[in-house]
Amino acid sequence: MKPSAAIVHVNRGPLTESIHHGHIAVVNNQGRLLGQLGYAGFLTFARSTAKLLQAIPVIESGAADHYQLSDAEIALLCASHNGEAEHTTAAASILTKLQLNSDHLQCGIHEPWHVPTALRLRAAHSAPTPLHNNCSGKHCGMLTLAAHMNVSHENYLHAAHPVQQQMLNIISEMSGVERAHIKLGIDGCGVPVFGIGIDSLALAYAKLGCPGDLSTKRAAACNRIRRAISKHPHYLAGSDRFDTCLVQVTQGRIIGKMGAEGVFALAAADAGLGIAIKVEDGSERALYPTVVETLLQLDLLSLSELEALSAFHYPLLRNWQGTEVGSIRPQFRLHFV
């Protein structure tokens, strides 16, 4: 059993009612471990934190330029988006450029995460489409790469498909984990997900933020992705979402991405750091308090930035009558190595 650290307390009245455990790794772009909590080598799936890395081959291959993807569309490739009008419009725009349509997306269908959008769809008796799937941007990126590689877009989900082989390559190269050592599972949207240590995920994000040691083409792709997200943070997630707020509040100095099952990865370019976090039980409610607290303990946020993120840092719990009955509080000290 690997060490596991308490990271977040859920408090109600005088008691800590529930406790979340987790793991944190902070590295530089050489992979040197600078800070940790729990077990920095904790092995888990990168889930949607991989999306920023998966956008690299779409750009580096020339596919994004060939199909004239805009910066907003590049940001959408990286998104677990809300399914708001801007998101579905951008996804549809990419597909049009590829002379494809939403029937070619194999991500499956779920209601938009953005509740007002979901309620509007219901009120209009309109069914959600694959465009509303939070992963539709990533799938558009995969279809863009398939078109540019001149390979079939049938079965683009399958691990053996040339596009997915490119995805495995980029995860391997950025994380420093050999292809053969990356564990493969299947994501909620049907594509392969990549099992690596969170220290390796942190390294991939450190390189994404500080790509100076990478090839010129790779560095340019990393810079383009960060610039696109900085210019269009709404396309990374959407209204009221932490990922979008973090980029807006820090004006792109810090770029972070959530993944399902309590994963988060951050590139703090000017500090030269990559950070990865795993809430061990997979809970989202513990994730954003942990991210903000980690940034605070690394001295990466100004007071006004911290203030702007306070609702994510210390969420309040209310009952059905709206009365405050408790709070969620990060409770840990990063170990500096």
Closest to its own copies by CB, 71 vs 111, is 111
Closest to its own copies by CB, 67 vs 332, is 332
d(CA 12, CA 296): 24
Residue 51 burial (CB count, 10 A): 23
To its own copies, the closest distance from the beta carbon of 259 in angstroms equals 10
To its own copies, the closest distance from the beta carbon of 19 in angstroms equals 5
Element (H, E) at 19: strand 15-28
Close Cβ partners of 227 (under 8 Å, ≥ 6 residues apart): 71, 252
What x-and-dash track marks residues 123-142 binding its own copies by CB under 8 A?
----------x---------
Closest to its own copies by CB, 45 vs 235, is 45
d(CA 149, CA 289): 41
Q: Is 316 in the site for its own copies (CB under 8 A)?
A: no
Q: What is the CA radius of gyration of the chain?
A: 19
Q: Which stretch binds its own copies (CB under 8 A): 7-15, 92-100, 247-255, 264-272?
A: 7-15
To its own copies, the closest distance from the beta carbon of 285 in angstroms equals 9
Token output for 230: 């900085």
Q: Is the distance from CB of 317 to CB of 274 less than 8 angstroms?
A: no
Task: Work out which of 103, 304, 323, 333 binds its own copies, going by CB under 8 A.
Answer: 323
Q: Is 62 in the site for its own copies (CB under 8 A)?
A: no
In the window 245-274, what residues touch its own copies (CB under 8 A)?
A: 261-262
d(CA 104, CA 139): 9
d(CA 131, CA 117): 13
Element (H, E) at 12: strand 5-12
To its own copies, the closest distance from the beta carbon of 332 in angstroms equals 12
In the complex, the residues that contact its own copies under the rule CB under 8 A are 1, 4, 6, 10, 12-15, 17-21, 43-45, 106-110, 122, 133, 183-190, 193, 195, 261-262, 279-283, 286, 319-323, 325-326
